[in-house]
Structure 1
Amino acid sequence: MLFSSLPLPDQQFLQKIATAAIVLSITGCSFSSSTGEAKTPEIELPEITIPTAVSSPSLPEGIDNQKLLEESWAIYREQFIQEDGRVIDYEAQDRSVSEGQAYAMLRAVLMGDERTFALTLDWAEKNLQRLDDNGKRIDNLWAWKWGQKADGKWEPIDFNFASDADIDAATALIWAYRRWNRPEYLDLALIKLQDIWQYSTVMVGANGKVKEDDTKGLLNLGTRYLLPGPVEAFVPSSSIIHLNPSYFAPYAFRLFAQVDSNHDWLSLVKSSYQILEKSAQSSPVGLPTDWIALETKTGQLRPLPPESLIKSVYSFDAYRVWWRIAWDAAWFDAPEAQKYLSTATQHLQQQWDSSAFIPARINLQGQATVEYDATSQYAMLYPALRLIKPDMAEQMLQQKILPQYNQGVWDDQSAYYTQNLAWLGIMPFTVVNSQLLQP
């Protein structure tokens, strides 16, 4: 589907995605192993068994919007997920992305849909492998983009990984292990956690230099940060790191710490909140940003230059900050999460109070740069406001989120991103029970 054939909000979103898609090659990281060899030894991966029985997924009886969420999942499974488990993004040339596979896994395990969970995992494991020049698996992360290449073949288009997808997939695997008593899912999660840590985090030493070390993060050697993807793409120099705050998932890092004592996952909780709080200070109105640059020598955050392909603006990426931090506040009673949500949403609360409308894209000075709003933003704000402004959350649900839902779909039939963010945003916190949250 061409950009010009889309409504304006989707057009803007696709342009954002296209920009992010090429940033890796622009920054010198169109993936290729420099040695032509796999980075890590071959690991025997657990076998994924696909259940033969087709279940009738459901949520706990009596929760808010139960029937709507169940219907939405059934329609999404029918329209966006192929029989082999591939999740299709119809807004972008029918491609598949690692994010989509991970969102489907999260939703499937929460719905109790074991077959769809296994199918979407199996497809990703078989088709999103990151391979070196010799065709050997590099690691156990997923290539972020798969689709039709210029020669007509359908295969990975970009072998880089996106750490948010791998984090969401590992979270879903841990929940699946606990829900269905499938130890092979925990085994696979632990394998992925090793590679997330090794390839998608960096340590900044006391001297402000990015250090390549092989420690497990258990020594006090500095501050460890989560990268959005490969070091080559997001650490342009020894003193600059490009970060995406919407990838920070403190609740996931706490879950990882429960099952993996070999790495200091709680250090990522700390650094995530440090970045969120500092990035709010870089905006006069306290908004999170899609992208931000960390100057490691000074510890200061600064917006990326205007000519940069990735932008320091509050937009479609940054929406997800509200959802991820709300989950940490709700499930782990994290005081830093509650504090952040209370302060960082102030400008958006004022926007809503004044006009019952929040623009889809706002610069860091608090000025709207577009005239439309976005269902996905309201859905991501909803869980945060449920915790700090429940009356406003209910207004937003009734006026902006539910009216966009029709026969199992939010917005339109091809809006892959909105379907996932809307579902994850309005899902009641209680769906994730103590069985999933405690070891």
Structure 2
Amino acid sequence: MSRRLITVLALLGVLGLLVAGSLATWAIPDRDPGGTAAPPSAVVAAPTPGGLRTYTTEQAGRAFLAGYVDDDGRVVRRDQGGDTVSEGQAYAMLVAVGIDDEETFAAVWDWTRGALLRPDGLLSWRWDDGRVVDPSSASDADLDAARALVLAGERFEEPRYTTSGVDLGRAVLDLETVPTAAGRILVAGQWATSGPHAYNPSYASPGATSVLAAASGDPRWSELAAGSHAVTAALLGTAPLPPDWAQVHPDGTVEAMPGAQGRGQSVRYGYDAARTPIRFAESCDPADRALAAAVAGPLDRDGDAAELDLGGSPLGEGESVVAATGQAAAVAAAGDTARAVQELVDADHLAQSFPSYYGAAWAALGRLLLTDDVLGGCPPVPAAA
């Protein structure tokens, strides 16, 4: 289904609130920390006949926070059984900082600290039905949350947030990074420190490592930035697109994998991998941005298809918000900011047409990371976009 067809259907009123809710599973990410659709009543700026909106950064952020964050600060994946993952808590913290919502940030961090913080300083990955049901850590959530805390300490003038962010970042370095011949890498979680290491390319975040390096002065953040670049470059040296999952051997050898530790359908560029160009496009390092630009060509073969093989051919029908945002990042990094603006509009429209936790999160984060420097990066798209 093309983006133009989605818009036409919306104009005809086919994608009204009730229908959007019933179709939401069409765009549900096929991943463990996946996104799921919210009840239509929970979505701000939901589609109305003839009325898909182009979000401002503020509106995209409010749509995610209002739709998926409960009053107590828990981020609820409403259309995946109502569970909570550390990724979602971290996303809400970043969005709250980005749109200057101190009250929501405080609530989300308080809930996260009370419900998910492990004795070793990392966050448990999954909570459901009143308790932690999977205590394993997810390093992308830990890294994003640490970044958000440091930024909140400065923005809200709360030193306790800065201290918590530096502490969480230290736990990430101690327990979720390992040295390899390719450089220091961020493994998938504390469970992946034995080689070969389960590695998710989209967990690497040059923007986060830069923020945390400045706050802590720990030289391992620079080592991690260099290792993340090296592994991403190695993956793009073997295929046009990065995979959702890979493994890194202690000798620096890097291989694409069909899911974490090989547990997946096939090697693919999907709901995880689409975050990779976003993470690298916001980097202040031109070499990182060049890696994001390198995927613009292969991504252009099939628009915003949700899942592709590593050559850029679609693996099924369907589009996704994170795919549109990833394409926006790639073309922006390549210098085509006008095209990037249109891709961000497409992401907005997909988020409204097929409401989901993951889609709402990346409609908001995409605009924050790619068009605004409030999260400490170097956005490739003009702020007026």
TM-score, L = length of structure 2: 0.80
Deviations 1:313-335 (A, max 9, x none): 1000001111111111xxx2x12
Q: Which of the numbers 304, 310, 328 marks the counterpart of 1:364?
A: 310
The alpha carbon displacement at 1:371 in A equals 1.8
Assess if the C-alpha contact under 8 Å between 1:171 and 1:252 holds in 2. yes
Deviations 1:52-108 (A, max 9, x none): xxxxxxxxxxxxx99633233334333311111111001221001111111111011
Q: Which of the numbers 61, 75, 97 marks the counterpart of 1:87?
A: 75
The alpha carbon displacement at 1:364 in A equals 2.0
Residue 396 of structure 1: aligned partner: 343
Code of the aligned partner of 1:401 = A
1:61-100 alignment runs, 5 A limit: 68-100=56-88
Residue 267 of structure 1: aligned partner: 223
How many residues are aligned here? 337
Assess if the C-alpha contact under 8 Å between 1:85 and 1:123 holds in 2. yes
Code of the aligned partner of 1:191 = D
Code of the aligned partner of 1:300 = T
Distance 2:297 2:273 in 1: 15
- 268 and 320 in structure 1: CA distance in 2 versus 1, 3 angstrom threshold: same
The alpha carbon displacement at 1:193 in A equals 1.5
Assess if the C-alpha contact under 8 Å between 1:287 and 1:364 holds in 2. yes
Residue 12 of structure 2: aligned partner: none
Q: Rg: which structure is higher?
A: 1
Q: Which secondary structure does the structure 1 equivalent of 2:262 belong to?
A: coil
Residue 144 of structure 1: aligned partner: 125
Q: Which secondary structure does the structure 2 equivalent of 1:118 belong to?
A: helix
The alpha carbon displacement at 1:279 in A equals 0.6
1:280 has 2:240 as partner: no
Q: Which secondary structure does the structure 1 equivalent of 2:282 belong to?
A: helix
1:108-147 alignment runs, 5 A limit: 108-130=96-118, 138-147=119-128
- 107 and 223 in structure 1: CA distance in 2 versus 1, 3 angstrom threshold: same
The alpha carbon displacement at 1:6 in A equals 5.9
Assess if the C-alpha contact under 8 Å between 2:91 and 2:144 holds in 1. yes
Deviations 1:288-343 (A, max 9, x none): 1101122333x322233699314531000001111111111xxx2x1212321222
Code of the aligned partner of 1:321 = T
Distance 1:181 1:437 in 2: 20
Distance 2:54 2:107 in 1: 24
The alpha carbon displacement at 1:144 in A equals 0.8
RMSD: 2.7
Assess if the C-alpha contact under 8 Å between 1:382 and 1:426 holds in 2. no
Q: Identity percentage over the alignment?
A: 27
Residue 353 of structure 2: aligned partner: 411
Residue 50 of structure 2: aligned partner: none
1:320 has 2:320 as partner: no
The alpha carbon displacement at 1:262 in A equals 3.5
Assess if the C-alpha contact under 8 Å between 1:279 and 1:288 holds in 2. yes
Listed as ranges, the gaps of 5+ residues in structure 2 are: 1-21, 35-52, 379-385
1:25-36 alignment runs, 5 A limit: none
Residue 43 of structure 2: aligned partner: none
Distance 1:342 1:317 in 2: 18
Distance 1:203 1:394 in 2: 38
Code of the aligned partner of 1:393 = A
| Runs (4+) off by over 6 Å | none
Q: Which of the numbers 171, 195, 199 marks the counterpart of 1:243?
A: 199
Residue 254 of structure 1: aligned partner: 210
Q: Which of the numbers 424, 429, 438 marks the counterpart of 2:365?
A: 424
Residue 26 of structure 2: aligned partner: 9
Deviations 1:188-247 (A, max 9, x none): 11211121111101123x6xxxxxxxxxxxxxxx832111102x3x245x4x12210000
1:336 has 2:303 as partner: no
Residue 166 of structure 2: aligned partner: 190
Residue 308 of structure 1: aligned partner: 262
- 348 and 6 in structure 1: CA distance in 2 versus 1, 3 angstrom threshold: same
Distance 1:433 1:6 in 2: 34
Residue 42 of structure 2: aligned partner: none
Residue 250 of structure 2: aligned partner: 296
- Which gives a bigger RCO, structure 1 or 2 (Cα 8 Å, sep 6+)? 2
TM-score, L = length of structure 1: 0.71
Residue 132 of structure 2: aligned partner: 156
The alpha carbon displacement at 1:260 in A equals 1.4
Code of the aligned partner of 2:263 = L
The alpha carbon displacement at 1:156 in A equals 0.4
Code of the aligned partner of 2:299 = L
